[in-house]
Amino acid sequence: MIELQLALDLVDIPGAKEVVREVGEYVDIVEIGTPVVINEGLRAVREIKAEFPHLKVLADLKIMDAGGYEVMKASEAGADLITVLGVSDDATIRGAVAEARKQGRQIMVDMINVKDLETRAQEIDALGADYICVHSGYDHQANGLNAFADLAVIKRVVKRAKTAIAGGIKLDTLAQAIAAAPDLIIVGGGITGSPDRPSVASEMQKLVKAG
């Protein structure tokens, strides 16, 4: 069954809590996005996990170095999942995975800007990542790019890890994301930017669970 992740990027801690209160019942994972971590620190992860302990919380740290240490600190803050960049050195990913196993957490590897997706996805799968995520970032989206073709590439070669897709997914493109059959769909502005967030999140949940 596909899971739905809410990405919180352009909010402070009170704003994040407000959004989660509105739509938390419709999502499986709450992502504390990189901008929130930069602005608020891991305190944002700690506070969201404390207020919503029934939800899984992902810390989008986009780790590039010192994988074991950074995963340890995110785990201490209550993160259930932590992101590492696919362009990182194998040793960084290996260290992150090892620390996550020790802490009972999970690692998502973000494939943003990976050039040879097929080869790198196979390598990361072998390193033990829990999720491999194809991702059209803000700058990609501004140039009209999306990650649906990338998802098809990694799904062909990944044997063990779950797959995820992120970047610009909204209600009108959700069916396309579901049809691509990832294990996890990540939605940010498609929910947070809606004038009726609960209604949109509820509809997305129905479509995802039906898919």
Fold of 3-210: TIM Barrel (3.20.20)
pLDDT tens-digit series, residues 42-86: 999 999 999 999 999 999 999 999 999 999 999 999 999 999 999
Compute the average pLDDT of residues 91-97: 98
Asked if residues 115 and 86 have their Cβ atoms less than 8 Å apart, the reply is no
Q: Which residues contact 77 (CB under 8 A, 6 or more apart)?
A: 42, 43, 45, 46, 49, 59
pLDDT at 30: 98
**Separation between Cα atoms, residue 204 and residue 187, nearest integer Å:** 9
Beta strand 56-63 pairing with 81-85: parallel
Domain ranges of the chain: 3-210
Residue 144, token pair as written in the block: 């009209």
